[in-house]
Amino acid sequence: MIKTEGLMKRFQSVVAVDRLDLDIPAGEIFGFLGPNGAGKTTTVKLMTGLLRPSAGRSWVGGFDVQTHPKEAKKIMGLVPDQPYVYPHLTGIEFLRFIGDLYEVDLSYQKKKIPELLEMFELNDMGSELVETFSHGMRQKLVLAGVLLHQPKVLFLDEPMVGLDPKSARLVKDVFQRLSQSGVTLFMCTHVLEIAERLCHRVGIVQQGRLTRVGTVADLRAQASRSGTLEDVFLALTGGDQYRDLLRFL
């Protein structure tokens, strides 16, 4: 459902994404892990057609994102790292806007929008302007919008940031249900516990290069580490040198 071949993005001298090859089947939750600045957000922007690659190609549901952007975008959903929502719309207006944009049947929208607001505990916010929403509320509103248009492929850039524990739990369960119903999820995350609990496979990206792909168990074996995924992740990304940095304290 998601495929890239030699996908690359250069910003002046920085190679943010370096010849990325990925193939992600339907229903998989793929976790994309890596330190800050590794190129995760840029990868999502390339895969969703928000940025033009310097080289390489990517497909969503078999549609080339460059040559068939409309077809590809029609079946994808995106939860960006910043929950960008129009501040002067109300919660309901925002969802109606998303619903109309994706040509969701009006009677379905009218039934579904109140359900989604209830599910994300945004009932009271439906008629409030989005500018009054907290970061977590905006995040949930964006997720509600995504569920409204029922994408086959969902890109999530740090979707848990700003969510309280109950909302985070709800969202994890939602992701699992979506995957069980055949939706493919590509998720950038720093929350290693989520990667461990939720992702069928994870890829580790460092300085734009995909350095490892596999199940968490595979990565553990490669790092020859037991212990937490955090230990494994730090070992694989050289992040375990962080202790040196404590000398500045």
Ligand X SMILES: Nc1ncnc2c1ncn2[C@@H]1O[C@H](COP(=O)(O)OP(=O)(O)O)[C@@H](O)[C@H]1O
Residues forming contacts to ligand X in the complex (CB under 6 A) are: 11, 14, 16, 34, 36-42
Locate 124 and state its tokens.
């009271």
Q: How far apart are the first and last CA of the chain?
A: 47
Binding site for Mg ion (CB under 5 A): 40-41
Least distance between ligand X and beta carbon 52 (Å): 12
Q: Which is nearer to ligand X, 36 or 224 (CB)?
A: 36
Given ligand X, Mg ion, none, residue 77, with its beta carbon under 5 to 8 Å by kind, binds none
- Total Cβ atoms within 10 A of residue 71: 14
- The least distance separating ligand X from the CB of residue 192, rounded to whole angstroms, comes to 15
Please say which residue, 81 or 93, places its beta carbon nearer to ligand X. 81
Residue 81 CB, shortest distance to Mg ion, in Å, is 5
User: What CA–CA distance (Å, rounded) separates 129 from 134?
Assistant: 11
Residue 42 interacts with, from ligand X, Mg ion, none (CB under 5-8 Å by kind): ligand X
Task: Give whichever of 41 and 139 is closer to Mg ion, judged by the CB atom.
Answer: 41
Question: What residue 125 binds from Mg ion, ligand X, none (CB within 5 to 8 A, per partner kind)?
Answer: none
Shortest Å distance, C-beta 171 to ligand X:
20
In 58-164, alpha helices (H): 69-74, 91-101, 106-119, 135-149
Q: Choose among ligand X, Mg ion, none what residue 16 binds, the Cβ cut-off being 5 to 8 Å by kind.
A: ligand X
Q: Where are the alpha helices (DSSP H) in the chain?
A: 40-47, 69-74, 91-101, 106-119, 135-149, 165-180, 192-198, 216-223, 229-237, 242-245
d(CA 47, CA 57) in angstroms, rounded, equals 9
Residue 239 binds which of ligand X, Mg ion, none (CB < 5-8 A, kind-dependent): none
Q: Which is nearer to ligand X, 89 or 161 (CB)?
A: 161
Residue whose C-alpha is closest to residue 140's, from 245, 192, 123, 194: 123
22's CB contacts (< 8 A; 6+ apart) are 2, 3, 4, 7, 30, 203, 210, 213
Q: Of 42 and 109, which has the nearer Cβ to ligand X?
A: 42
